[in-house]
Structure 1
Amino acid sequence: MGVYDFQAKNRDGSVANLSDYQGKVLLVVNTATGCGFTPQYEQLEAMYRDLRDRGFEILDFPCNQFANQAPGDDEQIHEFCTVKFGADFPQFSKVEVNGDDAHPLFPYLAQQKPFQGFTGMKKLVLNQVSKAVEKEFGDKAHIRWNFTKFLIDREGSVIERFEPTVRMDEVRQAVEAQL
């Protein structure tokens, strides 16, 4: 099984095959509209605009599992992202990324690139949050917070995981290296 074997529900309820993205460099992100990392949408959108013509796609999966920071339905979330940040990359229906109801893509991605810890100034706070997530979901605590990113190369291999604390310029450098 690989990335291209998964499907996801679009905001309109239709089903998207991730195989439609075969041959592109992908950044899969679980997002939230009310998180301290939500301003990353601006940098994600800038990266998308600059690089999409070179075969780059961002796949946005809103998730409300972390402190209920993605309230609202799919359309409300989409409207917020487009109005506030001009987000134009594919945004799927809200998913869960941990637990028994996790979208199967996220456990797969996390098995390929497991959690290695947070970095930076917010490390101490997020380490406490991570312990709570682990306690709640046990061995199904695949993702530790919003804006975790997985970089997938043109062949569908998961090559890097970025926790939300990784600087966006580092993420961009890794994406550009794959293009």
Structure 2
Amino acid sequence: LSAICLLSSVCPIEWQTDHQGFKLVNKSVIQNKIEAIGEFAGGEVSLVVNVASECGFTDGHYKALQQLQRDLGSSLFNVLAFPCNQFGNQEPNSDQEIESFVRKTYGVTFPMFSKTAVSGTGASATFKYLIESSGKEADWNFWKYLVGPDGKVVGAWGPTVSVEELRPQITELVRKIILKKKEEL
């Protein structure tokens, strides 16, 4: 499902959800590339995070998110980062500027998506699904939504809950995928 083609400009993201869970089907901006989002759906664990470059939580969260991505790899787990400027105007830059900043400052290797609304009536379909499924709506930067390999939302946490506090739960979900794959051999 991974189809990559180069683009010269930023394309908006489009998402679909279905009644069975989190289903990523269209496109996202990642380093001026278009990637089929389907590669993040089905069989993987995802930590979906609304991020901001100028927030008090930025440094600690980006460092911890990148370390988690590095430790767990990208074959069974991905951080999916969504820049958002809804809270305190703390993500004012363009998609390209945001990506450049996080790659240079934090060495981010996980997917960075186009800036999007994550709460309220203007929230993207993705975040509407996450809110509906978890019963929790982001009210600040660095909300984290954990999505299991079945596409169901496992939990949601605000910015005061550290990435390290979530690590055991995320690691357990990844471990279960590995064990299931071993059984299938």
- Shorter-chain TM band: 0.7 to 0.9
What's the % identity of the aligned pairs? 37
Which aligned segments of 4 or more residues in structure 1 are displaced greater than 2 angstroms? 5-9, 11-17
Decide which of 31, 47, 52 is 2:73's aligned counterpart: 52
1:18-69 superposed Cα distances (whole Å, 9 cap, x missing partner)? x321211100000000001101100100010000156111101000000100
Partner amino acid for 2:46? L
Helix, strand or coil: the match of 2:145?
Answer: strand
Counterparts in 2 of 1:110 and 1:87: CA distance versus 1, 3 Å: same
Matched with 1:177 is: 172
Between the two structures, name the one with larger relative contact order (CA 8 Å, sep ≥ 6): 1
Decide which of 111, 115, 119 is 1:94's aligned counterpart: 115
Unaligned runs of 5+ in 1: 116-141
Counterparts in 2 of 1:14 and 1:100: CA distance versus 1, 3 Å: farther
Provide the C-alpha distance between the structure 2 equivalents of 1:149 and 1:166, rounded to a whole number of angstroms. 9
Counterparts in 2 of 1:161 and 1:49: CA distance versus 1, 3 Å: same
Provide the C-alpha distance between the structure 1 equivalents of 2:24 and 2:77, rounded to a whole number of angstroms. 19
Matched with 1:33 is: 53
Decide which of 147, 159, 170 is 1:152's aligned counterpart: 147
1:77-120 superposed Cα distances (whole Å, 9 cap, x missing partner)? 001101111111001110011233211110110111123xxxxx
Indicate the RMSD between aligned Cα atoms, in angstroms: 1.7
- Tell me whether 1:4 sits opposite 2:4 in the alignment: no
TM-score by length of 1: 0.79
Matched with 2:180 is: none
Partner amino acid for 1:87? V
Cα distance, 1:172 vs structure 2: 1.2
Cα distance, 1:4 vs structure 2: 1.1
Could you tell me whether the CA contact under 8 Å between 1:8 and 1:92 is conserved in 2? no
Matched with 1:118 is: none
State how many pairs are aligned: 152
Counterparts in 2 of 1:16 and 1:93: CA distance versus 1, 3 Å: farther
Hey, which of these two has a bigger chunk of helix by percent?
A: 1
Partner amino acid for 1:148? W
Unaligned runs of 5+ in 2: 1-17, 175-185
Cα distance, 1:9 vs structure 2: 2.9
TM-score by length of 2: 0.76
Partner amino acid for 1:174? Q
Partner amino acid for 1:20? E
Once the two structures are superposed, the pairs formed by residues 91-170 of structure 1 within 5 Å of their partners are 91-115=112-136, 142-170=137-165
